[in-house]
Amino acid sequence: MFRQPETALRRALLSFARLTYERHLLVGLDGNLSVKLGDAAVLCTRAGCHKGMLADDDLVVIDRTGRKLRGRGEPTSEMAMHLACYDARPDVEAVVHAHPPTCVAFTVAGVSMAQCVLPEVVLTIGSIPTLEYQRTGTEALARLVGDAVHSHDAVMMDRHGAVCVGRDLLEAFCRLETMEHTAKVLLAARQLGQVRELPAHEAASLRALGLARYGGPPSALPGHCQSCSGCGRPSAEGLAKAAGFSVARITGGGSA
């Protein structure tokens, strides 16, 4: 796998950290970002830094156990959560954790964002589960997030914030932006009337199309989405029939 040199990844991490602040996806000292430097090292934001005024010396290099290798200050207190995401899936190269306000409000109100409503979200991100409350910075929270990332590219933590993963920082950041945009659309829909979910057959077709076109989202894999029973949690065969693809293309197996 090609990876950019550390200097380029540092510039990217600084840029996306500032964007999370400028786009009102976090405030003050909230949130943290990280990106793999290789199979054995991770570049992350240090604890207690303002993401809108981030500088190069606010970045810390750690190993895959969380031990600091280089940098000023200490790694973010939520580094265990980032490492759990990397351990969960080898394709994850970057993790962005922020506190998008509308998304967080949904968790405080006890309202799920897991419905299949917007086609582009079903197609590219899939379902967005809300994880049960765990105290920030704990191993319990890290385990919970790591388990969820096995099946999802974006998750909400109750009363806390969002975790988005990607093959690079851009992909993880775009998923974060999409989550907050989706929450705003759902909120407006609830204020105007009611949220109308996509028909079950269309949701299944979009999931299958996402797998065939992009290789994801992982929540579209048979048995991975546990967010609701709206589409009957279809089997591989059901997904394939809905979208007109072979089971092999969906599951990554041989020819069907």
- Per-residue pLDDT, 195: 95
- Per-residue pLDDT, 224: 58
- Per-residue pLDDT, 242: 40
- Per-residue pLDDT, 216: 74
| Residues in CB range of 170: below 8 A, 6 or more apart | 12, 16
Q: What is the pLDDT along the chain (256 residues), one digit of tens a residue?
A: 678 999 999 999 999 999 999 999 999 899 999 999 999 999 999 999 999 999 999 999 999 999 999 999 999 999 999 999 999 999 999 999 999 999 999 999 999 999 999 999 999 899 999 999 999 999 999 999 999 999 999 999 999 999 999 999 999 999 999 999 999 999 999 999 999 999 999 999 999 998 888 877 787 776 656 555 455 444 344 433 444 433 332 233 333 3
Q: How far apart are CA 175 and CA 163, in angstroms?
A: 9
- Per-residue pLDDT, 95: 99
Amino acid at 63: D
Contact call for residues 59 and 44 (beta carbons, < 8 A): yes
DSSP per position, the chain: -----HHHHHHHHHHHHHHHHHTTS--TT--EEEEESSSSEEEEEBTT--GGG--GGGEEEEETTS-EEESSS-B-TTHHHHHHHHHH-TT--EEEEE--HHHHHHHHTT----S---HHHHHHT----EEPP--TT-HHHHHHHHHHHTT-SEEEETTTEEEEEESSHHHHHHHHHHHHHHHHHHHHHHHHS---PPPHHHHHHHHHHHHHHHS--GGGSTTT--S-STT----HHHHHHHHT--HHHHHT-S--
The domain ranges of the chain are: 6-192, 200-251
- Taking the alpha carbons at both ends of the chain, their separation in whole angstroms is 29
pTM score, two decimals?
0.86
Provide the 10 A C-beta neighbour count for residue 199.
12
- Per-residue pLDDT, 241: 41
The CATH code of domain 6-192 reads 3.40.225.10
